[in-house]
Amino acid sequence: MTFKKIVTAAVAASVALIAANASDIKGRGASFPGPVYKAWTAGYFDATGKKVNYTPTGSGDGIKSISKRMVDFGGSDKPLKAKKLAKEKLYMFPSVVGSIVLAYNIDGVKDGELKLSRAAIDAIFSGKAKFWDDAAIAKDNAGLKLPHAPITTCVRADKSGTTFNFTYFLNKIDPAFKVSKKPKWKAAKVVAGKSNSGVSANIQQIKNSIGYIEYSYKIKLGLPAAQVQNKEGNFIKPTVKSFQDAAKYATWTPENDFYAVIGDPAGATSYPIVAATFILLPKEKTETNKEVTAFFDWAYKNGDKAAADLGYVPLPASTKDEIRKYWESKGIK
C-alpha cells in the first residue's frame, strides 16, 4: 500500500470513528439512578451495539444541560412542573423508582439497628440534636450504646434531586424545612460532598456521621442504614419490598407529563423516603428523541431484573404502557 493510500485509509477510519462517536446518545444529570443506568446502557450495547453515555452529575446539572441543549437527554429526580417544561420546551417521563436511606458510621451500631423517629430526624437535620446520645434519638434506641459524640451530617454540595426528595420528606415532618435542591442546612456540623458517591464517601470516612444517599450506594458500599419511622408510626427497614409497598401510592398521568412526588406515602409497611427519577427530552429533536426512547423502551422490557438487583423498583407494566402512549402522542416513538 502506498503512503498516500495509508494516509487516506487512516483519515477515513478517523472520520468513521468521529461519526460513530457523534451518533452516540449522551445524557447527564441525576446521580440517584446512576447505577441502574450504568447497568442498562451496558446491556443495551451488548444487545444492540448502540452506545448510550450517561454521566451522573446531579439533577441540577441535568436540568441545566438539557435546557441548554448540551446533551440529548437530561436526568432529574426533581420532576418539573408544566410551566417549567413549557418554558424550556421539554417532555418528561419517569424511568424507575428508588429510595433514599439514612446511612451512618457509628462504632458498634450495625446495619438496621439504629431506629430514627420522625422527631429524631428533625432534631438531627435541624441542629436541635448535637450529640448521638440526645434524648430524641436515645428514646427509641434503648438497647444501643450511642456515644456522647458530635453528630456530623453528610449532605450534597451540588444541586440535587436526592436532596429535593429528602427535604420534601423533612418538610412533611416539619414545615419549617424548605423543599430545595440545595438548602441552607442548620444541622450542628455539616460536611458536603458532590453526588451520591461523594456523600457516601464522606459517611465511610467520618466517624459518628449520618447522611442521605440512594439505596444502591448503600448496597454497593455495605453501609449501615437506619430504620425510619413512616407516617403510620412504624419503623421500617429499607428493603426492596418496603420500597415496592411505597411506590404503589404514586399517582401520575400523561396529561401532566407524569409529574409526581411520592415522598412520605401512606401504608403501614411503606418505607417513607422514596422517589421516582425522570428523563427530560427537548421537544424539537424528534429523531434523536426516538433513539432515546428506543433505549428506555428496551430498558422497560429487559432491565427490570438489573433494577431490582440494585435495589430499585421497576415501573409497573401499566405505567410503562402509559409512557409508550405518551411517546406516540408526541411523535417520538
Task: Quickly list DSSP for 125-169.
Answer: HHTS--BTT-HHHHTT-TTS---S-BPEEEEESS--HHHHHHHHH
Q: How confident is the model at residue 23 (pLDDT cuts 50, 70, 90)?
A: low
Q: Which tops the pLDDT comparison, 169 or 22?
A: 169
Does residue 226 carry a pLDDT above 90? yes
Does residue 11 carry a pLDDT above 70? no
Give the model's pLDDT for residue 288: 97
Cell, residue 239: 428493603
Question: CB of 289 within 8 A of CB of 91?
Answer: yes
pLDDT in tens, 99-154: 999 999 999 999 999 999 999 999 999 999 999 999 999 999 998 999 999 999 99
Position 14 in a domain = no
Q: How confident is the model at residue 233 (pLDDT cuts 50, 70, 90)?
A: very high
Cell, residue 101: 436511606
Residues 73 and 84 in one domain: yes
The position carrying cell 439514612 is 102
Give the model's pLDDT for residue 251: 85
Which domain, by its residues, includes 71? 27-97+254-261+277-330
Position 186 in a domain = yes
At 295, the amino acid letter reads F
Over residues 27-40, mean pLDDT: 95
Residue 216: name the closest of 40, 25, 28, 26 by CA: 40
Residues 117 and 168 in one domain: yes
The position carrying cell 455539616 is 190
Give the model's pLDDT for residue 8: 42
What are the contacts of 145-148 at 24+ separation with CB within 8 A? 145/108, 146/106, 146/109, 147/106, 147/107, 147/208
Residues 80 and 112 in one domain: no
Name the phi and psi angles at 116, rounded to 5. -120, 110
Q: How confident is the model at residue 185 (pLDDT cuts 50, 70, 90)?
A: very high
Residues 153 and 181 in one domain: yes
pTM over 0.75: yes
Task: Quickly list DSSP for 40-66.
Answer: HHHHHHHHHS--EEEEE--HHHHHHHH
Does residue 61 carry a pLDDT above 60? yes
Residues 107 and 207 in one domain: yes
At 64, the amino acid letter reads K
CATH number of the domain bearing residue 290? 3.40.190.10
Q: How confident is the model at residue 162 (pLDDT cuts 50, 70, 90)?
A: very high
Q: Please list, residue by residue across 240-254, b when 16 or more beta carbons sit within 10 angstroms of its beta carbon and e when fewer do.
A: bebbbbbbeebebee
**Quick check: helix, strand or coil at residue 1?**
coil
Position 235 in a domain = yes
> Strand pairing of 25-29 and 73-76?
parallel
Determine the number of helices (DSSP H) and then strands (DSSP E) in the chain.
13, 11
Q: Please list, residue by residue across 146-161, b when 16 or more beta carbons sit within 10 angstroms of its beta carbon and e when fewer do.
A: bbeeebbbbbbbbbbb
Give the model's pLDDT for residue 168: 95
Strand (E) or helix (H) holding 278:
strand 274-282
**Quick check: helix, strand or coil at residue 24?**
coil
Give the model's pLDDT for residue 16: 36
Give the model's pLDDT for residue 12: 39
Non-local CB neighbours of 20 within 8 Å, separated by 6+ positions: none
Position 282 in a domain = yes
Residues 130 and 240 in one domain: yes
Burial class, 73, CB count within 10 angstroms (exposed 0-12 / middle 13-18 / buried 19+): buried
Q: Round to whole Å and give the CA distance between 118 and 136.
A: 10
pLDDT in tens, 250-289: 888 999 999 988 889 999 999 999 999 999 999 999 999 9
pLDDT in tens, 296-327: 999 999 999 999 999 899 998 999 999 999 99
Over residues 193-214, mean pLDDT: 96
Domain count, the chain: 2
Ranking 13-27, 46-60, 202-216 by mean pLDDT, the lowest is 13-27
Give the model's pLDDT for residue 274: 94
**Quick check: helix, strand or coil at residue 81?**
coil
Does residue 333 carry a pLDDT above 50? yes
Position 11 in a domain = no
**Whole-number mean pLDDT of the chain?**
92
Does residue 10 carry a pLDDT above 70? no
Position 210 in a domain = yes
